Structure 1
Amino acid sequence: MWVLVLFDLPTETRKDRQVATRFRKSLLDDGFSMFQFSIYMRFCASRENADVHARRVKKSLPKHGKVCIMQITDKQFGMIELFHGQKEIEPEKPSQQLELF
């Protein structure tokens, strides 16, 4: 499973920028990586694990702005088409993640 967090947060004031930065940092601290500036993604081994990370994101939601949490399967993510300008690029493979029981 992949968890994608898409957001549009206000950045007009210094306080707004601090809140947006804190939210992005919380995503990075939870293992998300930046896909685009306001889209972060994280690979999860199972739906249950994806739900855990979605709940963590919900706990750090800012008061203002829009945030979308989306969960998609690895197969769906594998069908993504990425372009840099008009040149198609290969999506990055997820890093191997070890799980200890």
Structure 2
Amino acid sequence: MWVLVFFDLPTETAKERKIYALFRKNILKDGFNMFQFSIYMRHCASRENAEVHIKRVKKILPEKGHVGIMCITDKQFGMMEIFHGHKTVSANAPIQQLEMF
């Protein structure tokens, strides 16, 4: 499962830029990686694990701006077509999760 966070935050004043930077820093600290500007993603082993990270993002939501959170499966992520100019680029493979019982 993949969790994607999309955001568009105001950056007109120094205070707004600081809030933007703090939000970005906190989602990076939670293990999200930049997919595109203002789109960050994180692989989660299960729906339950995804919910944990979604709750963390919700706790740090800024007062202003727009933030979207979306979950997609590994299969859906694998069907994504990614292009750099006219060249097709393969999507990142899911991280292997080791389980010990």
In the superposition, the TM-score normalised over structure 1's length comes to 0.94
- 1:36-80 deviations in Å (ceiling 9; x for gaps): 110000000000000110000000000000000001111101100
Q: Which residue of 1 aligns with 2:27?
A: 27
* Alpha-carbon distance change, 100 to 38 in structure 1, aligned in 2, over 3 angstroms: farther
**SS class of match (1:93):** coil
For structure 1, the residue ranges without an aligned partner over 5 or more in a row are none
Match of residue 54 from structure 1: 54
Tell me how far 1:99 sits from its aligned partner.
5.5
1:13 alignment counterpart: 13
Residue 94 (structure 2) aligns with? 94
Change (3 A) 1:64 1:85: same
Structure 2 unaligned regions, length at least 5: none
- TM-score under structure 2 length normalisation: 0.94
How far apart, in 2, do the equivalents of 1:3 and 1:99 lie?
Answer: 20
Q: Which one-letter code corresponds to 1:3 in the other structure?
A: V
Deviation at 1:87, TM superposition (A): 1.0
Give the deviation of 1:98 after TM superposition. Answer: 4.1
> How many residue pairs end up in the alignment?
101
In structure 1, what residue type is equivalent to 2:69?
Answer: I
Q: Is the 8 A contact 2:3 2:44 kept in 1?
A: yes
Hey, what's the Cα distance between the residues in 1 that align with 2:13 and 2:97? 38
